[in-house]
Amino acid sequence: MKKIVVFDLDGTLAESKSAIDEEMGTLLYSLLLVARVAIISGGAWPQFEKQVLAHLPADQRLQRLSILPACGTQFYEYDHEWKQLYAENFVPEEKKKITDALNSVVAQLGYTPPQTWGSQIEDRGSQITFSALGQEAPLEEKKKWDPDFAKRQQMKALLVHIIPEFAINLGGTTSVDITKPGIDKAYGIRKLRDILLVSIEEMLFAGDAIFPGGNDYPAKEAGVDCIKVRDPDETKRVIETIVACYTVL
């Protein structure tokens, strides 16, 4: 059996930028009884607090939960409270270069929407994220903006020429994530391996974007056994099955 079950966040445990529901919270808490759990996402730490941790009991069972914001360039663990183990952040000059490149590409492609909900560009320390409609945009609006990833693929094609020293990944429903080279979910998987001393063969990953070009696909490329889910409801059924199998054993 696997020693650790790893999840993507948006589209897997919860709808984009939304909190896990009560059923998901109960299932995750049950899973922590039988296995270690990790969540790897391009999101920043406050998103994990708001979307997941605020909906789980704050007890010692959380010692079995690892949180990896920004694809593992940050790592949080629980010991009576949440503590940051490390953060591999950009320097100011790097942040400016990335922000300038994003603004240039958005203007060139005409991707300035008539309405935004919050800032389009978010500094996550070790990751800069562009959200086309703003960080707080309603989910229904976000789903309509780029359902086939075509707009963001255009952005990526331009960005790789302007800032080739950085990695550009497509995440969520309207997001483009920019990190240092080699920073993706495979990086987070390797960080889990090194810090928790759990082999990649002993991990199981569940995500909604396990396809070439999807931001969960690097986990598969890292050699983790993966389960592709459609949405949080399917993730719930996966968790139920895992808990049932561990309980029988």
Percent of the chain with pLDDT over 70: 99
β-pairing, 128-131 vs 225-228, is: unpaired
Alpha-carbon dihedral sign for residues 223, 226, 230, 232: negative
Give per-residue pLDDT as tens, 78-105: 999 999 999 999 999 999 999 999 999 9
Per-residue pLDDT, 1: 81
Give per-residue pLDDT as tens, 98-129: 999 999 999 999 998 999 999 999 999 999 99
C-alpha to C-alpha distance for 100 and 41, rounded to whole angstroms:
24
C-alpha dist (Å) from residue 70 to 3, 22, 52, 90, 108: 23, 25, 15, 12, 27
Give per-residue pLDDT as tens, 13-52: 999 889 999 999 999 999 999 999 999 998 889 999 999 9
- What's the whole-model pTM score? 0.84
Confidence of residue 248 (pLDDT cuts 50, 70, 90): low
C-alpha dist (Å) from residue 181 to 11, 60, 127, 162, 165: 25, 35, 11, 14, 7
Which tokens go with 195? 């810090």
Per-residue pLDDT, 56: 96
Per-residue pLDDT, 110: 93
Which tokens go with 198? 């759990």
Per-residue pLDDT, 165: 96
